Structure 1
């Protein structure tokens, strides 16, 4: 009998001891209490102006020729054009403003010496002072068509190295 009494007392003591810790707050995650310092925030993605000239997607023949077959397909050119649009669109609103184009002037200069003003005059089909992705891609497709002199759907090294004709305003 004393053994049963000892076992019962131990059981009650163990339960009491276990329940004693239940009243305290559980530590389940990071400390969320207010602090004196601001939280660490990751820096924003670099604007296109922070990207070295040879690092943007339309920097040159070798960059555009993604599959390294010695020619640039219309798909490779279009993918690079869209990627550059997204890099320039710092406001992520689907439009390129003149301020965004000016910030990207070094990258634009790699594309046949374009300036922001010249690009806007060529590509802004509705003359609203901004370029939509559709206007940008129409410009990129027109440029591809001018460079693909033999109309085979590819720009080879000889076509790329030949003097590039000026790009007429889109839609004209």
Structure 2
């Protein structure tokens, strides 16, 4: 069963140059990781990517793996931090606070992340008008936005993704159901535990490693070109 996803149309209005300027101007160059529940973990440039900061915190008994109970406990703990009025729901104002204060990175596009390419087709006036001449054959190309940029699961907005009945609030039962699904996604070998080697890299982590590799390659080329 797939988690429901809410369209993030607000992100689509961001152009990459503007996003890049915002990214740089607001000090967004730090490393960012979003836990499966959407909790952000941050690390300064040069430090290890913060996936293991979440992993070690969720691994309550420190045995090197996250059990289902530990995963759910970690998710419910984060739910409680977002449920400011303690009514058992993350309501719309609490979600707005999440987006604006707790995890503002979801409102920006990280310019380092390579987005899926849109293939432009040259317009052919002789082609039958009924034939599709749209980019990518008219197929929708999903962009990597929101929390998906920094997360292990492709959920642009983890709070809204848990709103199964679309009533603009997330109950504890909905959050528990979403957490169970997220655990199943990440427990790739179905042994009832999540280990570090089961975790995929986030798009931001991949982009960062490519940047580092490109930087080293450029440095080596310059070194061997006689400039050093």
TM-score by length of 1: 0.54
Distance 1:65 1:150, change over 3 A: same
Q: CA RMSD in A?
A: 3.3
Residue 194 of structure 2: SS of its match in structure 1?
A: strand
CA deviation after TM superposition for structure 1 residue 163, in Å? 3.8
8 Å CA contact 1:120–1:129 kept in 2: the answer is: no
CA gap 1:52/1:81 in 2 versus in 1, 3 angstroms: closer
Structure 2 runs not aligned, ≥5 long? 1-38, 43-51, 107-146, 203-228
User: For structure 1, which runs of at least 5 residues remain unmatched after alignment?
Assistant: 1-50, 165-172
Equivalent of 1:122 in 148, 156, 161: 161
Aligned to 1:112: 151
Q: 1:100 aligns with which of 78, 94, 99?
A: 94
TM-score, L = length of structure 2: 0.42
- Give the deviation of 1:52 after TM superposition: 8.7
Structure 1 pair 59–96 and aligned structure 2 pair: CA distance change class (3 A): farther
Query: How far, CA to CA, are the matches of 1:137 and 1:100 in structure 2?
Result: 18
Q: Pick the structure with greater CA Rg.
A: 1
Counterpart Cα distance in 2 of 1:117 and 1:95:
20
Give runs of aligned pairs for residues 62-81 of structure 1, distance below 5 A. 62-81=56-75
Q: Distance in 2 between matches of 1:59 and 1:101?
A: 24
Matches within 5 A, 1:8-87: 53=41, 60-87=54-81
Q: Secondary structure at the match of 1:145?
A: helix
Residues 1:140 and 1:157: Cα distance change in structure 2 (over 3 Å): same
Structure of greater relative contact order (alpha carbons < 8 Å, 6+ residues apart):
2
Residues 92 and 168, structure 2, Cα contact 8 Å, conserved in 1: yes
Say whether the 8 Å CA contact 2:41–2:54 is kept in structure 1: no
